[in-house]
Amino acid sequence: MSTPLRLGIAGLGTVGAGVVKIIQQRANLLAQRTGRPVVISAVSARSRDKDRGVDLSGFAWEDDPVALATRDDVDVFVELMGGSDGPAKAATEAALAAGKDVVTANKAMLAHHGQAIAEQAEAAGCVVRFEAAVAGGIPVVKALTEGLAGNQITRVMGVMNGTCNYILTRMENAGLPYDEVFEEARALGYLEADPNLDVGGIDAGHKLSLLSAIAFGAQVDFDGVELEGIGQITIEDIRQAADMGFRIKLLGVAQLTGRGLEQRMTPCLVPALSPLGQLEGGTNMVVLEGDSVGQIVLRGAGAGEGPTASAVMSDVLDIARGIRVTTFGQPAATLDRIKPARATAAAPYYLRMALVDKPGAMAKVAKVLGDSGISIDRMRQYGHDEPTAPVLFVTHKTTRDALDHAITGLAETGVVVGDPVALRIEAL
């Protein structure tokens, strides 16, 4: 019999327990597909006594994940603890220093330290794989590093946070306000312990920065991602977008231009009948565009025990088969440090604001928009019972810089109450 591939699993939450289940329930299938047994030598978690719904009695236990990562009977360290620093980073670095391969679902760690980790892995002759860190069960990392390796990637786009997509689609389908659906999502356990990681776009921004690194041969630059969350989206925005044939999505877009690497994770309007527009609930979708292949659309469960554990196992089985791919699809030393750039391509925008309900307010707004070079495609003022009047504009194509200039000017008119909401209308 071939030598078993021995795993050390750190983190026995939802995903870690799911990985244990797959290995215990599908041992024969895994051995058939790789030509060698895949076994668990030892595990680590914060509590030994918690009931995780799996039998852990046959595995050694380490309270310290660093000790687990350096055990002699561990070939692959599986990091499922999470966190950009702390034990996850320390144990990953210890595993690589000890010559162990690493499989991780930790998007935050790689978004902040991916270049250094990739360099350490290659210097040690190890691999770091992270399919489970991006879009749950969707094999998008493998698609970019392997299936589309012969393409010059021109754009990466997608909905990469299931919680945000759940909130936005639930608001639309049930006619509920943001705050109510947010609390519903919290009660269902959909939100991170720090909800801003989800609704603030940070979680999805981590994922986009990792895909950008692979797609464009760049060093990971999470700080270069333009982030805007969904907290300002109201049920009226949802309804007005639907009335115009659009739906609102937290959309990630990355592309390389002559000005640098554009990365943005922001709420956008997308055509309701497009694949992204029809995406419901917690499902994720990633759209990849290459010069030879054209457009590829990948859709599937973006989180959860089964889908994410499936992604972890895809990396484990590749290592068992002897498939060794560099962390970001090419040697870390060849990854470019590409300067961040803001999107310059013009697009129409949805612009909502509240005006003081008095004569001349609309004229002041129109003048500021015109002075900024922004022309109005359509305008709507809808009913209100408050001293402010909600007004909606859809602009003709303009740049975000011009729009920001206008928003600054609007704040100086004395007729706009609060911050306007500006959403790009994305052509797909």
User: Which are the catalytic amino acids?
Assistant: 207
- Closest Cα to residue 425, out of 368, 353, 346? 346
CB within 8 Å of 333: residues ≥ 6 apart = 119, 122
Do 108 and 207 contact (CB within 8 A), yes or no?
A: no
- Closest Cα to residue 309, out of 9, 4, 5? 9
Do 239 and 245 contact (CB within 8 A), yes or no?
A: no
Do 208 and 145 contact (CB within 8 A), yes or no?
A: no
Residues recorded for the chain:
428
Do 178 and 244 contact (CB within 8 A), yes or no?
A: no
What is the rounded distance in angstroms from the CA atom of residue 80 to the CA atom of residue 103? 9
Residue type, 357: D
Measured in whole angstroms, the distance separating CA 6 from the mean position of its chain's CA atoms is 30
Q: Give backbone dihedrals phi and psi of 302, rounded to 5 degrees, phi first.
A: -90, -5
What is the rounded distance in angstroms from the CA atom of residue 245 to the CA atom of residue 388? 27
Residue type, 101: D
Do 140 and 325 contact (CB within 8 A), yes or no?
A: no
What is the rounded distance in angstroms from the CA atom of residue 4 to the CA atom of residue 73? 10
